[in-house]
Amino acid sequence: MNIVILLGAPGSGKGTIASRLAADDPQHLKHVSSGDLLRGAVAKGTPAGQAAKAAMDAGQLVADELIAAMIKDVIDETEGEVTMLLDGFPRNVKQAEILEGIGAKIRSVVLVDVADEAITDRIAGRRTCPKCKAGYNVTALPPKVEGICDHCGTALVVRADDNPETVRDRLRVYHAQTEPLIEYYRQKGLLRTIDGDQGPEKNAAAFKAAM
């Protein structure tokens, strides 16, 4: 297994790209988001998941090393020539160093580049299925039936953190903490950049070519 890291601001479309590509080629591509990884490890009761649950139950943040251990668990349990599309980790240089420390083979790092103004507008139209976690956008990627998930028929919702003030705060955190990863991976010769404002299909095609 090797890893392709998705970089980009919140709302840049990383998750949409990764889930679309993995659905099209499940034999060779595996989308792993840090949030899904955490929930899955807790549900399975892996050692890392148990430690993470203990931290969350105590109201503490899950340690970077635990997330990295969960990624290693996924690597160890995956067979064949599979590429993991890693979404949401690392978020800073320290996490990148921890990821490298577990021996993860990083194939490339693809930056999905979208201007802050476009992201703010995009997030305002974002909708999520609370059941199967499928994502939509009322203009860029609408469901077939307004307000209803294409996959499971559940009513779509607006995420609590998708309000404009929260979005601006998340963008500030991204620029301060995650953006330094761009130069970090550029110096390692791993960075590729795509225009993330081309629409879902073209974004996915551009990402696939870059990775």
CB atoms within 10 A of CB 210: 16
Q: Which residues are identified as catalytic?
A: 14, 91, 126, 159, 170
In sign, the C-alpha dihedral spanning 71, 84, 155, 147 is positive
DSSP calls for 165-198: HHHHHHHHHIIIIITHHHHHHHHTT-EEEEES-S
How many Å apart are CA 125 and CA 177, to the nearest integer? 26
How many Å apart are CA 115 and CA 101, to the nearest integer? 32
